[in-house]
Amino acid sequence: MTKVAVAGLGYWGPNLVRNFDELTELAWLVDLDPQLRERFGGRYPDARVTDDFDEVLADDDVDAVVVATPVPTHYALAKRALEAGKHVMVEKPPAMRRSEMDELVSLATEHDRVLMPGHLLLYHPGVVKLKELIDAGELGEVLCVYGNRQNLGIVRTNENALWSLGVHDLSVILYLLDEDPEVATAQGRDFLTPGVEDVVFCYLRFPSGKIAHMHLSWLDPHKMRRMTVVGREKMVVFDDMELERKVTVYEKSPWKRAETYGEWMTRSGDIYIPKISTDEPLRLECSYFLELIGGKHDKAKVARDGARVVRALEMLTNSLDG
Ligand SMILES: NC(=O)c1ccc[n+]([C@@H]2O[C@H](COP(=O)([O-])OP(=O)(O)OC[C@H]3O[C@@H](n4cnc5c(N)ncnc54)[C@H](O)[C@@H]3O)[C@@H](O)[C@H]2O)c1
């Protein structure tokens, strides 16, 4: 059994702890906060508890480290864990700069270890269905993709909407289109906390000519977690707020009527809802990490895909700041 340590027991870490405890052997729990160490140490008595990350790295029995600490700490912790020969799953994004992420990818290659960014949505059965539909050519040529992620959760004061909300949609858009953007621009405003944008609009253009957009905001009447893909033959919507119709396929496409003067219309056909598994995306993500460690799947691709997200995030951030 793979022995896993989880660092960071704040808001998100406990979800990772629960899953790894159920899937494999939870060896260590790490947090700087003594109250959290006491609480989770009591809940998982078989795991050892510490505030010292190095103590975990020095334990030769530990195979993998999961990092769920605040974003600015990710790069340094992931780097130390890879250098110590551990497999690493690190919450999104693993680094705040492209150069740092490239360094992590090189370290993972050099030490032949897994470096998996926690891009949760890539393991969501609804997003996997979108990818299947695109790759099978069901939608025809994909023209554009846009994401809506609005009015969700606590308004963070130390992370803007691009970093907190946008990284999810960005990972999905890049995964679906499998291209690096040649243009990535963002505009936003800091209405609530000075210097921290709470409303951000992003535009991406890809070498193939496809375009994408993201609307990221904590200020909105609608609670939305939605991704729309427009193809020449069909269009599809993934809506994570829906319980029963997570993915809806629309047989709608542009169409030129021969009997008129050649203007474009929208052809409307059936609308259907494919069955989507209700498996917990985080469980699937944690299982995938363990499978990568076990030699399944392409670990180099997972790390490279993470680097692609950080590169695009850096382009968007430079544009937002500029
Ligand atoms: N995938 C998702 O949907 C999702 C959702 C929420 C958060 N996250 C990610 O999870 C990470 C943590 O977010 P959060 O909301 O849980 O933050 P949080 O502030 O609630 O918790 C972070 C914890 O890390 C601990 N910590 C800080 N530095 C440490 C160190 N050097 N060693 C050990 N522990 C340390 C803190 O004491 C704190 O308890 C972030 O990267 C965030 O982006 C992901």
Q: Determine if ligand 1 sits within 6 Å of the CB of residue 120.
A: yes
| Plot region of 209 (φ>0 → left; ψ -120 to 50 → alpha; else → beta) | left
For the chain, give the percent of residues with pLDDT over 90: 91
Residues 58, 66 contacting (CB under 8 angstroms): no
- Centroid of ligand 1 to alpha carbon of 119 (angstroms): 14
- Which atom of ligand 1 approaches the CA of 90 most closely? 41
SS3 content of the chain, % helix, strand, coil (to 5): 35, 30, 35
pLDDT of 261 strictly over 80: no
Tell me whether residue 42 is exposed, middle or buried, using C-beta atoms within 10 angstroms of its C-beta: 0 to 12, 13 to 18, 19 or more: exposed
CB of 69 within 6 A of ligand 1: the answer is yes
Contact 202, 184 (CB under 8 A): yes
Strand 211-217 to 199-205 pairing: antiparallel
Higher pLDDT, 199 or 260: 199
Instruction: Identify any residues that bridge with 264 across adjacent strands, giving them in sequence order.
Output: 256
Position 322 pLDDT exceeds 80: no
In this structure, what token pair is assigned to residue 221?
């009447």
pLDDT per position as a tens digit, 132-177: 999 999 999 999 999 999 987 778 888 899 999 999 999 999 999 9
The rounded mean pLDDT for the chain is 95
Q: How many helices (H) and strands (E) does the chain have?
A: 10, 14
10 CB under 6 A from ligand 1?
yes
Instruction: Quote the ligand 1 centre to 3 CA distance (angstroms).
Output: 21
User: Which atom of ligand 1 lies nearest, measured to the CA of 91?
Assistant: 41
Q: How far is the CA of 13 from the centre of ligand 1 (A)?
A: 6
Q: What's the token pair of residue 81?
A: 């864990």
Domains of the chain with CATH codes: 3-118 (3.40.50.720), 122-278 (3.30.360.10)
C-alpha 254 – ligand 1 centre gap (Å) = 45
Any atom of ligand 1 within 6 Å of the Cβ of 34? no
Q: What's the pLDDT tens digit per position in 49-107?
A: 999 999 999 999 999 999 999 999 999 999 999 999 999 999 999 999 999 999 999 99
Give residue 12 CA to ligand 1 midpoint distance, Å: 6
Q: What is the pLDDT of residue 254?
A: 84
100, 115 in Cβ contact below 8 A? no
- Contact between 125 and 277 under an 8 Å Cβ cutoff? The reply is yes
Question: With 90 as the cut, is the pLDDT of residue 113 above it?
Answer: yes
Question: Is 36 close to ligand 1, i.e. is its CB under 6 Å away?
Answer: yes
User: What residue type is 195 in one-letter code?
Assistant: G
Residue of the CA atom closest to atom 6 of ligand 1? 12
CA 31 to ligand 1: nearest atom: 34
Cβ of 9 closer than 6 Å to ligand 1, yes or no, is yes
Check if the beta carbon of residue 171 is closer than 8 Å to that of residue 92: yes
Q: Is 70 in the pocket of ligand 1 (CB under 6 A)?
A: yes
Degrees, nearest 5: CA angle 99-103-104: 120
Question: Does 188 contact ligand 1 (Cβ within 6 A)?
Answer: no
pTM of the predicted protein model: 0.95
pLDDT of 304 over the 80 cut: yes
Tens of pLDDT along 175-199?
Answer: 999 999 999 999 999 999 999 999 9
CA of 198 to the centre of ligand 1 (A): 20
